[in-house]
């Protein structure tokens, strides 16, 4: 058997040391997920795996002696962040194929397809991150909950998160007892996932960096409640931002990310909702113009245009329909 690289972290947390393919397949499958393991030269094969829990995630290191290929048997339902310490590997996923040389990293997102081909004596340190851990971390620092994040497979050489992965492994090794306190593990997990979300390209990165962050998301909710409670007064956006304790820019970005509209657009929507309630309320001597002015609309033509875009009919038709229902007890049937 070829001599394997001795430079692996987490050595106090051995899960596997074997030259048997079937044993390596079984044990590594329990650590990660079920897969098929093949060696181009079985007589040269050998494997060592070390693993420890950090929070809800798993931190691990592994080395293969001889060329080996891993193929997933079931769809992956977790993220794998991986740093090659020595040797090299080819990664194939739903996103395509990527070569990872020594000193470089990759991110494998959940998906149907996975194939890993290891060069002889390839050593790696990696972390298995459950979906829920990544989703919850995004919700803490982002603008809204995210589901199904997909990261770029390749990692720039200057990306900071591989250094955090190394730090996590070296921190575990510094505990003389070999037992990692739960709080320390959870903190290492948080550091790694947060750095990954901020540094690695993914399909929700734009919303994360342009949405005003958690402050903007929360501020938009606070201001939305203020506006919805009384949308009529001409509240200045600057004053609303000050009441929410954020800058106007952060508030505006928070509204766009959380509600898909600007602060002004949200105010207009709430005024239209108020106008609709008035037009469909108890009949009286109210006119469309009275309702428009009462709800803060100065230009009647623009009010009618916005109202029709929102409700599909004009304000006058709404008002007449409400009066007809009050008088006849039933709405008019329209022809399709």
Q: Dump pLDDT digits (tens) for 260-275.
A: 889 999 999 999 999 9
Torsion-angle region of residue 283: left (phi > 0), alpha (psi -120 to 50) or beta? beta
Examine the domain organization and report whether 157 and 186 are in the same domain. Answer: yes
Please say if the pLDDT value at position 80 is more than 80.
Answer: yes
Q: Residue 4, SS3?
A: coil
Classify residue 107: in a domain, yes or no: yes
Classify residue 335: in a domain, yes or no: no
Examine the domain organization and report whether 108 and 250 are in the same domain. Answer: no
Residue 95's contacts (CB-CB under 8 Å, 6 or more residues apart) are 109, 111, 150, 152, 153
The predicted-structure confidence for 140-177, as pLDDT tens digits, reads as follows 776 555 667 899 999 999 999 999 999 999 999 998 77
Examine the domain organization and report whether 42 and 187 are in the same domain. Answer: yes
Confidence at residue 334, expressed as pLDDT on a 0 to 100 scale: 37
Examine the domain organization and report whether 146 and 234 are in the same domain. Answer: no
Examine the domain organization and report whether 85 and 188 are in the same domain. Answer: yes
Give which of 69, 61, 60 is closest to 4, Cα–Cα.
Answer: 61
Between residues 333 and 251, the one the model is more confident about: 251
CATH number of the CATH domain containing 242: 1.10.10.60
Examine the domain organization and report whether 226 and 130 are in the same domain. Answer: no
Examine the domain organization and report whether 122 and 226 are in the same domain. Answer: no
Classify residue 131: in a domain, yes or no: yes
Q: Do the strands 46-54 and 14-18 form a parallel or antiparallel pair, or are they unpaired?
A: antiparallel
Q: Which of 42-51, 196-205, 256-265, 296-305 has the lowest mean pLDDT?
A: 256-265
Please say if the pLDDT value at position 233 is more than 90.
Answer: no
336 — pLDDT class (breaks 50, 70, 90): very low
Parent domain of 246: 213-328
Q: What number is the average pLDDT over the span 5-33?
A: 89
Q: Which of 90-94, 216-220, 327-331 has the lowest mean pLDDT?
A: 327-331
Q: What number is the average pLDDT over the span 79-83?
A: 97
User: What is the share, in percent, of the chain residues with pLDDT greater than 70?
Assistant: 89
Classify residue 144: in a domain, yes or no: yes
Confidence at residue 160, expressed as pLDDT on a 0 to 100 scale: 96
Classify residue 78: in a domain, yes or no: yes
Examine the domain organization and report whether 143 and 222 are in the same domain. Answer: no
Give the helix ranges, DSSP H, for 230-287.
Answer: 237-244, 248-259, 263-279
Confidence at residue 332, expressed as pLDDT on a 0 to 100 scale: 43
The predicted-structure confidence for 277-297, as pLDDT tens digits, reads as follows 888 877 777 899 999 999 999
Classify residue 5: in a domain, yes or no: no
* Domain limit, last residue, from 207, 229, 257: 207
325 — pLDDT class (breaks 50, 70, 90): low
Q: What number is the average pLDDT over the span 178-201?
A: 90
Examine the domain organization and report whether 174 and 256 are in the same domain. Answer: no
Q: Which of 109-113, 137-141, 191-195, 218-222 has the lowest mean pLDDT?
A: 137-141
Examine the domain organization and report whether 57 and 38 are in the same domain. Answer: yes
Classify residue 23: in a domain, yes or no: yes
Strand partners, 69: 38, 117
Confidence at residue 53, expressed as pLDDT on a 0 to 100 scale: 94
Confidence at residue 47, expressed as pLDDT on a 0 to 100 scale: 95
Examine the domain organization and report whether 177 and 71 are in the same domain. Answer: yes
- Number of domains observed in the structure of the chain: 2
Q: How many CB atoms lie within 10 A of CB 272?
A: 20
Q: Residue 39, SS3?
A: strand
- Its pTM surpasses 0.75: no
Confidence at residue 177, expressed as pLDDT on a 0 to 100 scale: 72
Confidence at residue 304, expressed as pLDDT on a 0 to 100 scale: 93
Mean pLDDT estimate for the chain: 87
Examine the domain organization and report whether 88 and 222 are in the same domain. Answer: no
Q: Which of 52-66, 164-178, 201-215, 320-334 has the highest mean pLDDT?
A: 52-66
Classify residue 128: in a domain, yes or no: yes
* Domain limit, last residue, from 151, 173, 207: 207
Confidence at residue 4, expressed as pLDDT on a 0 to 100 scale: 46
* Domain limit, last residue, from 207, 225, 259: 207
CATH number of the CATH domain containing 40: 2.60.120.10
Determine the Cα–Cα distance for residues 76 and 105; give it in Å rounded to an integer: 19
Between residues 191 and 285, the one the model is more confident about: 191
């Amino acid at each position: 058997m070829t001599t394997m690289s001795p430079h692996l972290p987490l050595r106090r947390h051995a899960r596997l040391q074997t030259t048997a393919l079937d044993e390596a397949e079984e044990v590594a499958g329990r650590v990660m997920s079920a897969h098929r393991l093949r060696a181009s030269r079985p007589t040269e094969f050998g494997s060592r795996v070390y693993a420890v829990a950090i929070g809800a995630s798993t931190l691990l290191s592994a080395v293969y002696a001889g060329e080996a290929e891993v193929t997933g048997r079931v769809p992956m339902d977790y993220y794998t962040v991986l740093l090659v310490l020595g040797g090299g590997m080819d990664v194939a996923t739903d996103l395509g194929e990527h070569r990872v040389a020594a000193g470089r990293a990759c991110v494998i997102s959940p998906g149907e397809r996975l194939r890993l081909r290891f060069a002889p004596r390839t050593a790696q340190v990696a972390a298995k991150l459950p979906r829920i851990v990544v989703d919850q971390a995004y919700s803490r620092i982002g603008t809204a909950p995210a589901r199904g994040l997909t990261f770029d497979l390749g990692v720039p050489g200057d990306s900071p998160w591989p250094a955090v992965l190394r730090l996590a492994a070296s921190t575990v090794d510094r505990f003389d007892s070999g037992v990692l306190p739960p709080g320390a593990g959870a903190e290492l997990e948080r550091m790694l996932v947060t750095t990954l979300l901020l540094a690695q390209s993914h399909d929700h990165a734009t919303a994360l960096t342009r949405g005003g962050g958690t402050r903007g998301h929360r501020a938009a909710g606070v201001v939305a409640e203020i506006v919805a409670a009384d949308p009529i007064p001409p509240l200045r956006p600057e004053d609303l931002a000050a009441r929410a304790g954020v800058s106007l820019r952060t508030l505006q970005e928070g509204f766009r990310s959380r509600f898909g509209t600007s602060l002004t657009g949200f105010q207009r929507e709430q005024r239209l909702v108020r106008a609709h309630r008035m037009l469909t309320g108890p009949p009286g001597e109210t006119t469309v113009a009275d309702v428009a002015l009462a709800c803060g609309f100065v230009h009647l033509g623009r009010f009618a245009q916005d109202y029709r875009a929102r409700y599909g009919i004009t304000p006058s038709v709404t008002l007449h329909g409400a009066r007809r229902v009050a008088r006849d007890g039933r709405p008019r049937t329209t022809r399709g």
